[in-house]
Amino acid sequence: MAILVGAAVWSVPAAVNTKSPGPLRIGTDDTVTIAAFHCEEISKSWRVGASGDLDLPMVGKVRAAGLTVEELETSLRDRLGKFIRNPNVSVVVSDFRSGPVTITGSVDQPGVRQLQGNKRLFDTLMLAGSLKPNAAAVILSRRREQGEIPWPTARTSADGAFSVARIPVADVREGRGAASNILIQPDDVLTVEAEQPKLIHIIGEVARPGSIELATKNSVPLTRALAVVGGPTRLASIRRVLLRKIGENGTASEVAQIDIRPILAGKALDLELTDGYVVIVPSNDLKNYLQAASLTAVNSGIFSGLQILARF
């Protein structure tokens, strides 16, 4: 079923299906090693060509792509039976090249990996080493001719070419449950998104303008934040400190002007700063104060270059 929401088409499977697609099948560019008793001519390793065939001595072209190992063995025995009585043939896939999958983002070893058989989402991510601590979600993209991703929130890309699902890392990390067991297809792309850091920015007339990251805490007191940046300078106007909150989508609250002298003196409750707060300590010079006030009208992009001075 497909649901149109705005400009996006959301494909919602009736249920999550992680059933195995069946036995491993040989693909183009894979290498198979054949051992045929009393037939040294073909008893070696062979690369499956782009046509999907093996071009072998004695028996000629033999279809390999799309067959299981057992099916290829049967086909070779039938062909060799014209030359050898009761031929004994075994086949193994010695080098997989038909199952590339791209893994990028917040993993230790991003790159292209070969599936080498049926792999779950969890197993595939492990091919790129471990997930980094800031990993938040896995974006799984699959060409629609490969089938829809069997996940309730899977959607169709704007160009209609891909099925895309965003899966929280927490649902995958332990290697158990439906998310971990989603079967990956050749040419899938797995992008591991990093969690955006939670930052508080302090700029203006302070000793060391910079940012504070909330790594384990949800907030930090204003006085502690000011201590991290070295406190106001002698030119600071602490009677008219400016505060603004910038949301995740870039929207900003109205500017609040506060006199922090009672807070610093311990005569008023401290302020708890949370993710997205911008603290501007202006100069006591009126012109500089107006310049500082104008900074609050711009978006959060101007703070991206600030150094992270502490993590709480």
* Superfamily of domain covering 199-311: Outer membrane lipoprotein wza domain like (3.10.560.10)
Residues 68-124 pLDDT 10s: 999 999 999 999 999 888 899 999 999 888 889 999 999 999 999 998 778 899 999
Average pLDDT over residues 9-31: 62
CA-to-CA dists, residue 104 to 4, 79, 135, 181, 205, angstroms? 29, 44, 11, 20, 41
What pLDDT is recorded for position 19?
52
Mean pLDDT of 20-41: 86
Superfamily of domain 99-194: Outer membrane lipoprotein wza domain like (3.10.560.10)
Placement of tokens 């799984």 in the chain = 140
The reply to whether 99-194 and 199-311 are identical in fold is yes
Cβ neighbours of 281 (radius 10 Å): 24
Q: What are the beta bridge partners of residue 101?
A: 113
pLDDT score of 34 = 96
Q: pTM, whole model, 2 decimals?
A: 0.62
For residue 215, pLDDT over 90 is answered with no
Q: Spelled out in words, what is the top-level CATH class assigned to the domain 31-95?
A: alpha beta
Q: Residue 296 pLDDT > 70, yes or no?
A: no
Least confident interval from 108-112, 260-264, 296-300: 296-300
CA distances from 205 to 49, 50, 145 (A): 69, 67, 59
Report residue 12's pLDDT band, with 50, 70 and 90 as the boundaries: very low
Residue spans per domain, the chain: 31-95, 99-194, 199-311
